[in-house]
Structure 1
Amino acid sequence: MKIQDIQAIQLLLATPKKIAIIPHRGPDGDAMGSTLALYHFLLKFNHEPIVIAPNDFPDFLAWLPGSETVKIFEKDKQNCTRILNDADLIFTLDFNALHRVGDEMEKVLASLTKTFIMIDHHQKPDDYAAYVYSDTSIGSTCEMIFNFITLLDKKEAINIEIGTCIYTGILTDSGSFKFPGTTGNTHRIVAELIDLGVPNTQIPNLLFDNSSYSRLQLLGRALQNMKILEVHKASYTTLTQEELDTFNYIKGDTEGIVNYGLSIKGIHLTAIFIENKEEKIIKISFRSQGGFDVNQFARDHFNGGGHRNAAGGKSDVSMQETIKKFESIVSQLNKIPHEN
């Protein structure tokens, strides 16, 4: 981040402000971890921060410190709109295009003449923010929040609450430190957080070992539905709305299922297609290993994007038509490259 931008933000934060902090729609561990870490940080300096999530966050993140204070735009549009209108500053974390918050909230944000600060690690940021900290080489927005606080010369303010939120986002967005964005600096930050007292052995249990029986049944169905395109080193699975309903789906139950496709020997590209009848879309997650860029794949074919090895998208046609399109595109790629 530019020195002059840091200095300008330091000046903005020198006096108490009303500050809205916003994650993307369908917030994951990195989105909630980064927004709540920033929330706790700003509280320490007498600001009035409020996290406003576009929609509900998964139940397995409800233990995060401060999660009970989060406002949900979809559930309280009038009040959340008022808060946004009253804010002096607006931070947008873990996304870089306003459409990622959903149509109604996007319209509210686009109408505001406020100072926006973007902190994000995805490709091709839009230009709505006055101050931008964007770095695609960093594996998580939570790692960037640690850097941001350090750049503000306030590293000593990081306590166990802030550190817990940061650790959670780093852990989830790094795939438990397996993804390519995990660097030596990632581990150095994590080491500092552990030394601070962050409960690093408890957090994985809270995140990954807290499933309901219904969620495990849903996972079983997704694994049963998996298809292998062996010649093309690809796999995919599906979950229909009927299947979600049968296994009492709640938000967060499909988190991480897409990764199972990459655990198969020889598979370098995988996807999960999840039907959402209410929104009339097929929600898609892509994962890859090595040289295949699922960010570009999602952008080119499925109205999405993300990172080189982890991206999302959507389809407005039926599940059957979506699968047919995916198989057709993959068949034209020959073999999915694995080289870095």
Structure 2
Amino acid sequence: MQNLEAFKTLISTPKKVVITTHHKPDADALGSSLGLAEYLKMKGHDVTVITPTDYADFLTWMKGNDQVIVYDEGNEEESCQLIKEADIIFCLDFSSLQRINGLGDKVTEAQCVKVLIDHHLEPEDFADFQMWSTDAAATAELIYDLIHMLGDESLISKDMAEALYAGIMTDTGGFKHSNTTRHVFRVCGELVDKGADAAKVSKLVYDTNSLDKLKFLGYALSERLTVMPELNTAYFAISTEDLEQFRSRTGDTEGLVNYALSIEGIKFAALMIDRTDVVKISFRSVGGFSANEFARKHFEGGGHKNAAGGKSDLSLEETVDKFKQLLNEYKNELSNPINTYA
């Protein structure tokens, strides 16, 4: 944390605090937000978590979920008032204000202290305080580190520990991605010491699937997966009709792109989903090929080197065609033998 002593002074007296995170929050976004919220409440602050959109049902077990305000579910006026009255706004797990949709302009306009805590590449320069590191596997890891730096580890409750553990667990892919460092294991071990039930958290996040979600997964794998072995690339193209057929809910497509990347020899994977107004895209890669650079250059996106997102205003079919044409520009990089740990 830059200017740690000034930050300590800032939070030393009760403040009105708003915490927000990116649209369609995942376990790291929500876990870090609710974990930080619980900590700040223990310090005497008046804290509200506002998310731009809804999130998956498998995250609703986290303590504080019932008090989260979802901006785009008819809570625009209340959210704007809370942001206007805030003394501090914490922005967690996103590097660009575009990632919080309509809340972005409200946060920009707010005349208060802003704090960015994030681990994505190329953060915008809008915050008064910043705790940012691409070396961190998850924003939840940074939240734990911040509490540690402030000397308040004793305040970490079982509920906080489980929320933070969920964020780290998922952003490391269940501790199998290359961002799983010694520090990650040390932090998770200390969270378990604080009461986090690792088996319970894993069960709640990974093993509470609906039957529709599993049927959708089978359909996507059998009917919507395309493999391009000559370019070591695989992708899914999911239509609006596909989503409707399987009554898809928020979170049902999360992790789908990883199935494409899991195919032997695949270096680059994409998931393109027609969300009616825009085609949302997830990119994953292994080794030296940068999913972030590809997303940023061609699809108004970004993220991490090997995990990024983007969007397209074209139709789904046109987006797929654009994606395939672009791959030819990277033929030399993609067609080389895979080196997972480059």
TM-score (norm 2): 0.96
In structure 1, the partner of 2:249 is 250
Q: 2:89 aligns to what? A: 90
- Kindly report which structure 2 residues correspond to 1:129-144, keeping only aligned pairs within 5 A, or say none: 129-144=127-142
Once residues 104 and 189 of structure 2 are traced to their aligned partners in structure 1, the CA distance between those partners, rounded to angstroms, is 38
- 1:54 and 1:193 map into 2 onto residues whose CA distance is 28
Give, in angstroms, the shift of residue 196 of structure 1.
2.1
Deviations 1:45-102 (A, max 9, x none): 1111110001111111011111111001112000111111111100000012111101
Which residue identity is paired with 1:37? G
1:157 to 152, 155, 158: 155
CA-CA distance at 1:289 after TM superposition = 1.1
Report what 2:44 is aligned to: 46
Q: Does 1:22 align with 2:20?
A: yes
How far is 1:332 from its partner? Answer: 2.4
The amino acid of 2:302's aligned partner reads G
Q: Aligned residue for 1:59?
A: 57
Structure 1 match to 2:261: 262
Q: What residue is the counterpart of 2:281 in the other structure? A: 284
- CA apart distance, 1:252: 0.6
Q: Is 1:204 equivalent to 2:202 in the alignment?
A: yes
Residue 157 of structure 1, CA deviation: 1.2
Deviation at 1:228, TM superposition (A): 0.6
Q: Deviations over 1:92-124 (max 9, x none)?
A: 00012111101x221211111110000000111
Which residue is 1:34 aligned to?
32
CA distance in 2: counterparts of 1:57 and 1:88, whole angstroms: 26
Alignment partner, residue 7 of structure 1: 5
1:331 Cα offset (Å): 2.1
Structure 2 residue matching 1:123: 3-state secondary structure: coil
> In the TM superposition, what whole-angstrom CA distance separates every residue of 1:7-59 from its partner, at most 9, and x where no partner exists?
11110111111100001111111000000000010111111111000111111
Equivalent position of 1:194 in the other structure: 192
CA distance, structure 1, for counterparts of residue 274 and residue 261 of structure 2: 21
Instruction: Please report the TM-score for the alignment, with normalisation by the length of structure 1.
Output: 0.97
Q: Does 1:213 align with 2:203?
A: no
Q: Which moved more, 1:105-114 or 1:7-16?
A: 105-114
SS of 2:117's equivalent in the other structure is strand
Verify: 1:145 aligned to 2:158, yes or no. Answer: no
Residue 331 (str. 1) matches residue 328 (str. 2): yes
Q: Give the partner amino acid of 1:70.
A: V
Query: How far apart, CA to CA, are the structure 2 residues paired with 1:275 and 1:187?
Result: 37
Secondary structure at 1:36 match in 2: helix
1:172 counterpart SS class: helix
SS state at 2:204 partner: helix
Aligned Cα root-mean-square deviation (Å)? 1.0
1:106-125 matches, within 5 Å, as 106-125=104-123
**In 2: Cα distance, 1:115 partner to 1:241 partner:** 41
1:302 aligns to 2:283 (yes or no): no
Name the CA distance, whole Å, in 1 between partners of 2:204 and 2:143: 22
Q: Secondary structure at the match of 1:14?
A: coil
**2:239 — aligned with what?**
240
- For 1:248 and 1:326, the matched residues in 2 are separated by 27
Other structure's SS at 2:330 match: coil
- Aligned partner of 1:192: which letter? E
CA distance, structure 2, for counterparts of residue 144 and residue 164 of structure 1: 15
Residue 197 of structure 1 deviates from its aligned partner by 1.8
Whether 1:171 aligns to 2:172 is no
Q: Distance in 2 between matches of 1:48 and 1:108?
A: 19
**SS at structure 2 position matched to 1:313:** strand
Structure 2: unaligned runs, 5 residues or longer:
none
**Cα distance in structure 2, aligned partners of 1:222 and 1:138:** 32
1:80 aligns with 79
Shift of residue 208, structure 1, vs aligned partner: 0.8
Using the TM superposition, give the Cα deviation of residue 262 of structure 1 relative to its aligned residue in structure 2, in angstroms. Answer: 1.4
Structure 1 residues not aligned, in runs of 5+:
none
Q: Identity of paired residues, percent? A: 38
